[in-house]
Amino acid sequence: MLQLVDVGKQAIEAYLNIVGPETVAELKELARPLAGLRLAHINATPYGGGVSELLRSIVPLEQNLGIRAEWRVISGDEKFFNVTKRFHNALQGQVCSFTKEEEETYLVYNIRNARLLEDEYDAIIIHDPQPAALRAFSKTFFPHKNMNTKWIWRCHIDTSQPCLDYWRFLEDYIIDYDAVIFTMADFVPPDFKYQNVFFIPPAIDPLSPKNLPLSDDLAQNILDWIGIYPDEPFITQVSRFDPWKDPFGVIDVYRLVQKEFPHIHLALVGSMALDDPEGWEIYEKIMAEDLKDPHIHVFTNLIGVSNIEVNAFQHLAQVVIQKSIREGFGLVVSESLWKGTPVVAGKTGGIPMQLQDGGGFLVTSVQECAERVIYLLSNPKEAKFIGQKGKEGVRKNFLITRLLRDELRCLLSLTG
């Protein structure tokens, strides 16, 4: 049996004061025909990265609305996750050569996990490329189970310009799904002829530990505990240690900003994920930079920095940077805006969508990023106004209740 991830409980009524009674009533009405629906979300890891955070929030809400929702994760070793990381990079446009060995590794582990998919469900949502072949192999091992199950493949990454060798291989398995979800229309791969496509951007949970309101004093006490002190300003990037997040570009930005603001500090905050072996290599290189400069600070879940500390960083940073080169969505942008903190971010993926109502600046280079950060540091009143404007944009478009509504509508269209 695939590993079941334990989740907490959450009532939809808890969001009344944030989104209003009409939104809560709409969600209850949408969910009523889905009461008792057996739903499984399946992904590659129970922690680290945006997908696991989304599932930790949305599964309890689905359960509260009467859906028999579960979250399960596939198993794999370092070899498998190295291959799926190359899938991830190739699907986001990195030039790669798809090898027979990679194909065999990917299929062997999908076959192993398909054998473990023993329970019956009315709907299964497969998240991202790692478990995408489960649909095909589960029919082989359990031909009389899940015969009427609706299978949905949910792609969280930017596949607009994929390495075609990888995409064509994956497409052969995706085409068998009942529906496909992309974050936005721009992410659909070229010549993808599949008909039943939904566009659902992700969202943040305003009641998760990462996004709960903190007082300035409490946020500062949290950062004091890990060695960030209030007497000097800091900028931060919160992300996986991934080449697409350009952490070394962020360090270059910091060095340019430091010429204008000599006392500025940089905090790079990341989560080390089970399914991202490449992240460990980048982390070691970043730590080498950290040792050279006492104003560069690197924090991860390895040393106890988790969601509440991230909340404090985003709350108190003068500016949050998200200097992505390619991006599925970049939820840390909405997370930061929700705290009223202005953001300077790469003009890629779903980031422009999050900044369309204000909240910061889009950039395409290290120099431009540094200039925008310097501008915000030089104009704190305007920076505060920009951040507050961004918060209202998040309230309107990027809270978990909107994501839940979109997913309920998708399920209704397939099972109703």
* Residue 209 placed within a domain: no
> Whole-angstrom Cα distance, residue 229 to residue 184?
40
Residue 199 dihedral angles phi and psi, to the nearest 5°: -120, 110
> Whole-angstrom Cα distance, residue 415 to residue 3?
26
Lowest mean pLDDT of 283-287, 307-311, 315-319, 345-349, name the range: 283-287
CATH number of the domain within which 313 lies:
3.40.50.2000
- β-pair type (179-182, 123-127): unpaired
27 and 78 share a domain? yes
Which tens digit of pLDDT belongs to each residue from 314-329?
999 999 999 999 888 8
Say if residue 43's pLDDT is above 90: yes
pLDDT for position 231: 81
Task: Quote the mean pLDDT of the chain.
Answer: 94
146 pLDDT tier (thresholds 50, 70, 90): low
**What is the pLDDT averaged over residues 5-20?**
97
Residue 68 dihedral angles phi and psi, to the nearest 5°: -85, 70
Which tens digit of pLDDT belongs to each residue from 83-95?
999 999 999 998 8
Q: How many CB atoms lie within 10 A of CB 288?
A: 8
**What is the pLDDT averaged over residues 126-133?**
97
Say if residue 35's pLDDT is above 90: yes
225 and 199 share a domain? no
At which residue do the structure tokens 């299929």 appear?
107
Say if residue 275's pLDDT is above 70: no
Q: What percent of the chain has pLDDT over 90?
A: 81
**What is the pLDDT averaged over residues 135-145?**
83
> Whole-angstrom Cα distance, residue 278 to residue 86?
9
Count the residues in the chain: 416
Q: How many CB atoms lie within 10 A of CB 93?
A: 16
Residue with the bigger pLDDT between 195 and 216: it is 216
Amino acid letter at 403? L
Q: Are the C-beta atoms of 181 and 410 separated by less than 8 Å?
A: yes
Lowest mean pLDDT of 108-117, 279-288, 332-341, name the range: 279-288
Q: Are the C-beta atoms of 243 and 344 separated by less than 8 Å?
A: no
29 and 132 share a domain? yes
pLDDT for position 271: 80
**What is the pLDDT averaged over residues 193-215?**
95
389 and 241 share a domain? yes
Give me 336's structure tokens. Answer: 């930061």
- β-pair type (38-43, 150-154): unpaired
Residue 346 dihedral angles phi and psi, to the nearest 5°: -65, 140
- Overall number of domains in the chain: 2
Residue with the bigger pLDDT between 283 and 257: it is 257
Say if residue 96's pLDDT is above 90: no
393 and 406 share a domain? no
Q: Are the C-beta atoms of 206 and 399 separated by less than 8 Å?
A: yes
Query: Residue 367's domain spans which residues?
Result: 216-397
pLDDT for position 249: 97
184 and 227 share a domain? no
* Residue 102 placed within a domain: yes
Say if residue 149's pLDDT is above 90: yes
406 and 310 share a domain? no
192 and 235 share a domain? no
Which tens digit of pLDDT belongs to each residue from 317-365?
999 999 999 888 899 999 999 999 999 999 999 999 999 989 999 999 9
pTM of the entire predicted model: 0.92
Contacts of 192 (CB under 8 A, 6+ apart): 171
374 and 405 share a domain? no
Helices 247-260 and 277-292 meet at what angle, rounded to 10? 20
410 and 353 share a domain? no
* Residue 152 placed within a domain: yes
* Residue 208 placed within a domain: no
* Residue 211 placed within a domain: no
Radius of gyration of the chain (CA): 21
262 and 375 share a domain? yes
pLDDT for position 56: 97
Which tens digit of pLDDT belongs to each residue from 195-205?
899 999 999 99
H/E element holding 296? strand 296-300
> Whole-angstrom Cα distance, residue 72 to residue 148?
20
Q: Give me the half-sphere count of Cα atoms (radius 13 Å) on the Cβ side of residue 211.
A: 25
> Whole-angstrom Cα distance, residue 8 to residue 196?
32
105 and 86 share a domain? yes
